[in-house]
Amino acid sequence: MKYIDEFRDGKLARRIAAAIAAEARPDRRYALMEFCGGHTHAISRYGIEDLLPPAVRMIHGPGCPVCVLPIGRVDNAIAIARQPGVILCTYGDLLRVPGSKRVSLLKAKAAGADVRMVYSAADSLRIAQDNPDRQVVFFAIGFETTTPPTALVIRQAKAAELGNFSVFCNHVLTPAAITNILESPEVRELGTVPLDGFIGPAHVSTVIGSRPYEFFAEEYQKPVVIAGFEPLDVLQAILMLVRQLNEGRFEVENEFSRAVTRDGNRKAQALVADVFELRRIFEWRGLGMVPYSALAIKEEFAPWDAERRFEVETASVPDAKACECGAILRGLKKPADCRLFGTACTPESPMGSCMVSAEGACAAYWTYGRFRQVS
């Protein structure tokens, strides 16, 4: 498969791995956080940790949109789906996420709710057009990558004066989450979480560009390397971070230059700015309340806002007591440190959010890497 195999070449991987091993100094620490679930998945799936020297440690960040969606919002979506006449459309990953009382959209569907899996926001708009007598709600989640398509369908619904379509918006912002982690007392004051550098998001950065990370690199003195989601991208980014740290630099470098520019996709940014506005505060599972970290639909598009249409009120629902998702999402703990990991909580019956999506740190560890825990 041309254009993909090049980024999975085993020989080249071993060459980069050898360079990392040669350049990483055994007497110092390289604690690197990959923010994105896509990177976490690639690291586990291709066994990248097997190729790293002991001094380099990967910390899995909160960049999995399914994982950080708070339980209260899942409950909201289930309540909307259960209303008579509603068709709730969403991405496949979300169907299995347990809300409170362990009810998921999949279970609500089995009990009679009309919940449909779609591959894009545009699919849900089409379902609305095909079912004029039903209320169709698109349960939208995701970081900056999936926000522009949601903005587009809202604009299209308005242009077509589509009265039976609305969006339950849960789009969140990457830079706010990174700031939250860097500002957390464990990182900033106590120094209990080692965090030496970041692998920056791939697809998110195609939209927002590399410029937003310049602030972190400067303010927190942490190097950032934006990397693609292919395994060679990840290895190359690790090498670039090791070099920056060795040389005492903290810059934003772009490994993913085949897709990311400094300014990003201005057209997409304009589209998002047209339809959405910042929420003053939004809850993230694992991180808690994060100021200015999410988007809401502007007043101008109110008829297509499911939150207004269904008068949604969100309660803050705590995770199961023993669940360590919060600490894992902030890099404080590893999946295997959680008592529920692999016992009460597995991909078949997830308790915490990190186990739900294939991009969650716990699911990735359990699915691809659990032989490491026992050997």
Partner 1 sequence: MTLQRKGPSIDFTNGFVDLTHGGGGRAMAQLVDELFVAAFDNEMLRQRNDQASFPVEAGRMVMTTDGYVISPLFFPGGDIGSLAVHGTINDVAMAGAVPLALSASFIIEEGLPLADLKRIVGSMAAASRAAGVPVVTGDTKVVEKGKGDGVFIATTGIGRVPAGIAISGDQARPGDAILISGTMGDHGVAVMSLRENLGFETTLHSDSAALHGLVAEMVAALPGIRCLRDPTRGGLAATLNELAHQSGVGMIIEEAAIPVRAEVRGACELLGLDPLYVANEGKLIAIAPAADAERLLEVMRAHPLGRDAAMIGRVVADAHWFVQMETSFGGKRVVDWLAGEQLPRIC
Instruction: For residues 364 and 375, give the distance between their C-alpha atoms in angstroms, rounded to a whole number.
Output: 17
Determine if 102 is a binding residue for partner 1 (CB under 8 A): no
Closest approach, Cβ 17 to partner 1, in A, equals 7
Token readout for 323 is 């669940």
Contact (CB, 8 A) for 44 and 367: yes
93 CA to centre of own chain: 12
Token readout for 247 is 């040389």
Burial state string for 311-333 with b = 16 or more CB within 10 A and e = fewer than 16:
ebebeebebeeebbbbbbbbbbb
Determine if 47 is a binding residue for partner 1 (CB under 8 A): yes
Q: Please identify, among the stretches 28-36, 69-77, 219-227, 343-351, the one whose residues bind partner 1 according to the rule CB under 8 A.
A: 343-351
- Measured from the CB atom, the residue of 167 and 364 that comes closer to partner 1 is 364
Residues near 362 by beta carbon (within 8 Å), at least 6 away in sequence? 325, 328, 335, 338, 341, 345, 352, 354, 355
Closest approach, Cβ 97 to partner 1, in A, equals 11
Determine if 276 is a binding residue for partner 1 (CB under 8 A): no
Closest approach, Cβ 350 to partner 1, in A, equals 9
Closest approach, Cβ 273 to partner 1, in A, equals 29
Q: Please identify, among the stretches 151-159, 185-193, 211-219, 342-350, the one whose residues bind partner 1 according to the rule CB under 8 A.
A: 342-350
Closest approach, Cβ 64 to partner 1, in A, equals 13
Q: Please identify, among the stretches 79-87, 206-214, 253-261, 341-349, the one whose residues bind partner 1 according to the rule CB under 8 A.
A: 341-349
* 3-class secondary structure, 56: strand
At 18, the amino acid letter reads A
DSSP-derived secondary structure letter, 359? T
Q: What are phi and psi of 118, to 5 degrees?
A: -125, 160
Closest approach, Cβ 90 to partner 1, in A, equals 13
Instruction: For residues 212 and 204, give the distance between their C-alpha atoms in angstroms, rounded to a whole number.
Output: 11
Closest approach, Cβ 322 to partner 1, in A, equals 21
Closest approach, Cβ 10 to partner 1, in A, equals 5
- Measured from the CB atom, the residue of 35 and 365 that comes closer to partner 1 is 365
Determine if 213 is a binding residue for partner 1 (CB under 8 A): no
Q: Identify the residue among 24, 39, 40, 46 touching partner 1 (CB under 8 A).
A: 46
Q: Identify the residue among 21, 79, 103, 118 touching partner 1 (CB under 8 A).
A: 118
Instruction: For residues 277 and 128, give the distance between their C-alpha atoms in angstroms, rounded to a whole number.
Output: 25
Query: What residues does 56 pair with on adjacent strands?
Result: 30
Determine if 346 is a binding residue for partner 1 (CB under 8 A): yes
Token readout for 132 is 């004029």
Q: x-or-dash pattern for partner 1, window 228-247, by CB under 8 A?
A: ---x----------------
- Measured from the CB atom, the residue of 13 and 140 that comes closer to partner 1 is 13
Residues in the chain: 375
Instruction: For residues 223 and 196, give the distance between their C-alpha atoms in angstroms, rounded to a whole number.
Output: 7
Instruction: For residues 297 and 278, give the distance between their C-alpha atoms in angstroms, rounded to a whole number.
Output: 9
Determine if 14 is a binding residue for partner 1 (CB under 8 A): yes
Determine if 17 is a binding residue for partner 1 (CB under 8 A): yes
Q: In terms of DSSP bridges, do strands 276-278 and 295-297 run parallel, antiparallel, or are they unpaired?
A: antiparallel
Interacting residues toward partner 1 by CB under 8 A = 1, 4, 8, 10, 13-14, 17, 44-51, 96, 118-119, 123, 231, 346-348, 358, 363, 366-371, 374
